[in-house]
Structure 1
Amino acid sequence: MKKKVLPVVILLLAFCKVRSQVGINTTSPAATFDINAKNATGTSTNVDGVLITRLDRQRAQSMTGVPTSTLIYVNSVATGTQTGTAVNIDAVGYYYYNGSVWTKLANPVNIYNADGTLTGNRTVTQGANTLAFTGTKTNAFSVNGKNFSVDAANSRVGIGTIAPASSLSVQNSSGATNSTISAGIENCGAACLQGIARNITLYNLNSTGGQFAELGFIPSTSETGLSGASITGIDRDAANSYAGLQFSTRNATDYAPRLTIKSSGNVGIGTTSPTNKLQIESTTSGALKIVDGTQGTDKVLTSDASGVATWKALPAAPASANIYNTDGTLTGNRTVTQGANTLAFTGTQTNAFSVNGKNFSVDAANSRVGIGTIAPASSLSVQNSPGATTSTISAGIENCGAACLQGIARNITLYNLNSTGGQFAELGFIPSTSETGLSGASISGIDRDAANSYAGLQFSTRNATDYAPRLTIKSSGNVGIGTTSPTNKLQIESSTSGALKIVDGTQGTDKVLTSDASGVATWKALPAAPASANIYNTDGTLTANRTVTQGANTLAFTGTQTNAFSVDGSTLSVDAANGLVGLGTTTPDTKLTISTPDSSFGLNHTNGTVNLKTYIGGGAATVGTTTANDLRFMTNNTQKMTVTSSGNVGIGTTTPNTKLTVSTADNSFGITHTNGTVSLETYIGGGSGYVGTTTSNTLNLMTNNSPKMTITPTGNVGVGTLTPGARLEVNSGTANVSGLKFTNLNSSSPTGTGQAIGVDASGNVIAVSTTAQVSTTENAVSNVPGSPTFSVNDLGYTPVPGTVQNITIPAGGKALFINFMLGIDYYSLPSGGGTGFYQAILFIDNVATNVYQTVQESGPGAQAQFNLSSVKFLTAGNHMLYIAMIRQYNNGTASGANMACTPISVSFNSTYIN
């Protein structure tokens, strides 16, 4: 053998020396060492290839001074240990020495030792193998951050959160408008002989306890908060799958069941143990309210033949492939032991992570999870397979509840992280095939009180008219149908009759709802009259005293006749035809008519001490007390008028001290007498009292039914006259007799006949010792209309011819009484065509005074009368008086235009007082 190999070796060495390349089965090696297969093609059975050194793990572990890149094949790991240089030798295969340890020839980055990025879509074909991830940390396994998170430390799963507080915690994104959980199914039910798959199921793995599952509505923003309202499974009978439902709410008083549906089908409101189809219990009256337009006082609930009730009056991958770059098929069950490490999948695509197609899908692009769908439209979208008969969602718990002192774990909780708004959670029922469709019906959490965990429930439906609440359970426990604000245990409101229908086999036309002693209600016909004689068919005579014990029942007599019901003839008579009642008469003409003989009392209201009675006698009617007590009148439950036993009358006071006392607040009116046009009133305010008219009407003071003093709306006062023309006008009613008399006047000398009065420096009226009359002039002008003597315009005053008077006041003179009467004829119409306003003013010593009168002219040929009267204090000596005129207001007349005038009468009188 050696003889044959040696030449080959020599030749090889020689070849290497010449070419520095070695070829086996080739004369032209392409590398330092190039081995070609002897039979590269064909069907030869000869073995071609390179056989690498084979040894076990212990031998590899024992070698020292191993050159880097040494290649071996480990054919057994039953020997040696996975330590030292053999730390990576855990399986049969090729290893090379990297200078420190033996390293697998194929050791790509994989899920167990490094993060990585998928280079394409990956599918794990599990077949009958399982794939399990184990961990001990919170958020031990996650998909796309908080899209899907497994809390291995507490055995919880979070969708939309990495800190789930429940076995399954699903949270939507802040401000999201899509549903938090959608549980869809796709089958046709009984129509195609399929079972009805349940969208969501709630169950309890612990078989003890009658209260076994709950859907909680949490008003607070924490999923661990108290339930403000809940729907609970009760009456558990696991063997027969019997159960009932209980609806609870929380308020300031308690957290208690408000509506209970027993497995028998009985419904209780205000009771948890109903024994009838509908049983309502309340500690106060008015537990049931039905508003359908037929309600009314003393009406009873009456059904028709079909039972409709209305109110009526009686009547893992192979060594050469991994999840980051290649699809693969599990060759056995795989378990990922996470320990304290987390496992997170991050992605940006829809369906970024899925299990078995659409069995489980994570939409990383929209932060959604789909079960049964790869296109979830909600934070968690669950869809069943077409035609499925299994439940879409089952939420099971395992405990024994209060029976073993455990709390009631809630199978599903609905809450809202945003603390605002009274309506905070909703379970929606979508008629369309899309989970984003409108809710056709819903159960909503309402009346949110996060601080106390109070809440109520509201059931809504959609129809062609609206989408609105139909049944409301308030946190107080009140239930409303047709109203969202029930104030009774059960309140039913409807805009049409027939809001309540009870069909229990007892219904029938004109039957009434009647309860037994325990409150059980059934429809009953009014009892028929017995065969014996009774009040309904025969007159009779009472053989003894009779008592009708009504309890909570009413007794009503209905009729259509006058005197339909009477007692002892006319003692009491009811006119049912007109709705009237008579006492002492059978023909009442008012709602209550009391007829008595003359001089008799009628109505009496007494408490044993005070008697309030009516009385007719002596041609008069009287109402009041017959005891020594006050009579008071009130409105709006407040006393307004009092008549005391002493005869004093008080309005606004209960203690009048005069025959009539009216008490008001300051700055208020008291007594008003009005006919709708004129109002005569009293008023107190600002420390003063007033009496007079509050309308633009004259006030007259009268005696003996005749006016004696008049005050006009302009402030003029008349004594003996109804039309005073000055601030004070006194008319004695007798010619040449003064109606004015002064007494106790201040005077330096006694008052005597013929003396005048005056005013001293202090404003006091005084008697003047002597009077003297200045000459009196009566000037009758002979001018006639049509002969103008002066012109008037708006530019200045023009003296009126014939009005100049010169008077002399002797020494000691004090006051001058002046009276001018002037008649003016307007001759022509000035330019402009208007009807101006002309003023006549008194001048004294060429100085205009404040004594004037303004009159509007009515056109050419018209006359105007001016009457100027005044008292002036003038010094002793000579004085000139006259009248001047001016157009005070043009009113369409051109400025500067002259009006030709003629004085047709002038009269002047003056008197001075010493």
Structure 2
Amino acid sequence: MKRISLPLIIAFSLFTIKSNAQVGINTTTPTSTLDIIAKNATGATANVDGLLVPRVDRLRAQSMASVPVSTMIYVNNAVTGTQAGATVNVDAEGYYYFNGTAWVKLHNPSNSTFSSVNIYNTDGSLTGNRIVTQAANTLAFTGTAANAFSVDGTTLSVDAANDRVGIGTTAPGVKLDVAQAIGTSEATQFRIINTSPVATNNTAYMGFNSYNGGGATWALGSIQNSATTTDNNFNILYSSGGLFGKVFTIRPNTGNTGIGTETPQKKLHVNGGLQITNELNVGGNASTAGSAGTTGQVLTSAGASAAPTWQTPAANLNIYNSDGSLTGNRIVTQAANTLAFTGTAVNAFSVDGTTLSVDAANDRVGIGTAAPENKFQVVSTTPTSNRYMLFDAPVSTNSLPILALRNTSPAATGNFSLLGFSNTGPTGGGATWGIGSIRTAGALEEFFIGNSTGSNYIERVRIASNGFVGIGTSAPTNTLHINGTNPLRLEGLQTASGKTGTLVVNSTGVVQSQTSSNISAVRASGTITITVNNTFTNIGTTAETFDNLNEFASNTFTASATGLYKVDFVGNFPQRANTEDNGDGYLSLLRVSLNGAQFGLTSNMKVPLPETSGGPSSISNTHSTVVKMNAGDTLTFDGLSFGSTPASTNIVASFALNIVRID
């Protein structure tokens, strides 16, 4: 006999299964695949309503196999098992669903009963490679700890407390501290590589600057002598603003070291002066010190391939007490020692008279002069040769200057940085002309050209930061702005083959193009219908042939700008039969009014009777004048007949009106 559980029967009684495979619990009308209605949806009953999913510990979740995607469980113990494999995300009690690879936490930070796990409150392990796509956004870490940010312990450490970076150490002692326990190994701890294809003159340099600005002053590194990878020199270089000069060179195969030469011929080759401030040992060998000689001895050559020796001279002659002549080329090997001359005279140190002169009294250097008047002065006595040349790199397509001048005073409006020019001779005082930049309000740099007649520079040309050029003005308002009496003169102008317009100057001095389409010009025509004798009548309906600036309306012309205007007002008055106008014709008059008042005289013309042998025609009456008008002034036009009888038969006269600005 089969046993039937009563609770199962009761449970099935709560189910309703519709024909479309929808199941309802506590409802006969399920609206989804499974629709559960609370037994007690409202009220204060203590009975529990809800859905209980399977509750398992992490070990059980980790052990499940062939789990269907979207399976849901509740992990009630996150200590058992390990946080790896399918349970890599299980680190706390809570609801999880299976995504096909691992159990994923149902995350609801607004009302979850477990902590929101993220990088800000919990350590974790990446499950795969991650890429942060920043686009135009920045990613910044702000810390105050000594080891605020690190990668793999000591591989990279950022000391935010002291603004330092450590590589190989979590306690960097300087701005960039590279540490590695390499013992007696020859492995390098820091390397600079030029990744371009190997070629002659390729460089790999490290630069040094003791001030904040400009390019590196000193550099050290290697330069390729050929396409052979191991054929490269080691150099120490210096730049005062242009190309680097090689101060120190070590050849790769011989180990020869050069100071002032790129091709050292011996273990130490100094091309230039040498100062020795301690003993000089000669002779000896690789493990034995040579002789330093005794006080007063001089070094004497022993010939090729032999060490020199110290000899006692016949007399004590040296640079400090006697002039002398070199008997051959001399090299001062300084090593790490300096060679300094401290003087107070104007020409404290010189080479070949004026070839090079150092003015220690005024801190100046002269080339071609023994009395420099500026910080650096070059004087040439050979007018057919270049006096001063700067050479750029063999291939250079950047916009960096070859020579830069900088005013090191605190930045302020009105500061200058100028290059001066003068043809007043070697002792002619300051520069007559100066070009360079001037600092303006708003921290802008503008270009300046000026000359001096004995004191301060007089500004002649200004190029503003927006590209406007000013001559005679420091504040140009146009692409070219000239301020002065009769500021522009053009010579050598050629006759144009065709004319497209005329250059005119407006009231503010701006030069503009004037053509037939933008000059003030009006041509209009119409009729004057006179109905009353000896009474001026306005011109009637007009037809405009052209009105370039829309200045004419009805019978009124309104000037758009101040100027001289040529006016031609022509009326054609008809001859009439001897039965009109008392049988002797009539007098026609035309009038021009400026701002409502008659301007000048009226023009009048007798209209006689028609010839007895012909029919009536028209008599032209022309009123021509020149009017000086201000912008906004108006002209009106009317006509009159005198000695006529227009009341019986109106006098209808056609007219033509021409107005042109002529200034």
**Rg bigger for which structure?**
1
Highest RCO, 1 vs 2 (Cα 8 Å, sep ≥ 6): 1
Question: Where on the TM-score scale, by shorter chain, does this alignment land: which range?
Answer: 0.3 to 0.5
Larger strand proportion of the pair: 1
Compute the TM-score of the two structures, normalised by the length of structure 1: 0.24
